[in-house]
Amino acid sequence: MARSYLSYKIRRAEASDLLGVCAVERTCFRDPYPSEALNDLIKDHQDHFFVASDHGEIVGYAVASANAAQGHVFSIAVDPRHRRGGIATALLSAVTVRLAEEGVECMQLEVRRGNTGAIAFYEQAGYRVSALVRHYYADGEDALVLVRSVERETETTNCT
């Protein structure tokens, strides 16, 4: 079921969203995923791939995976013209809720060490720095590994 956020709708991605997802990806990242990789993510992780649309235009997306109790957020991106309106928060929430429904207890993601805006966003969402991976990105920049527990109705699990 699609959820509305202001004029935006957050819904599961469909194959027909690929061009819009690729456009957001190219706008947001200096080393974007190739369209083939994004297509594979939509097909292979459809239950964990959400898009934000504004009057039919894809303006953001989030994709994750689940492996038993461990979740991994591959990517979250919002077109710069649509930032600061809660879209990234809504996308991250959609992914988190879906993974929690599948029994995920801990979520992890990687972020560029120099991306202070994204780090602050994730920390506000309950993530904490867990590790540093040197030379993670193609250009040699380090990544921070961030983790957070997924809270259920009456329990909290600690991530290590």
Q: Is 23 inside any structural domain?
A: yes
Helix (H, G, I), strand (E, B) or coil at 16: helix
Task: Examine residue 57 and state whether it is found in any structural domain, yes or no.
Answer: yes
Residue 69 belongs to a domain: yes
Task: Determine, yes or no, domain membership for 17.
Answer: yes
| 72 falls within a domain | yes
Q: Is residue 158 in a domain? A: no
This prediction has a pTM of 0.86
Number of domains composing the chain: 1
Spatial contact of 146 and 108, defined as CB atoms under 8 Å apart: yes
Per-residue pLDDT of the chain (160 residues; tens, 9 = 90+): 454 445 789 999 999 999 999 999 999 988 888 999 999 999 988 899 999 999 889 999 999 999 889 999 999 999 998 888 889 999 999 999 999 998 999 999 999 999 999 999 999 999 999 999 999 998 999 999 999 998 754 344 556 5
Residue 109 lies in a domain: yes
- Domain assignment present for residue 67? The answer is yes
What is the extent of the structural domain holding 102?
A: 3-149
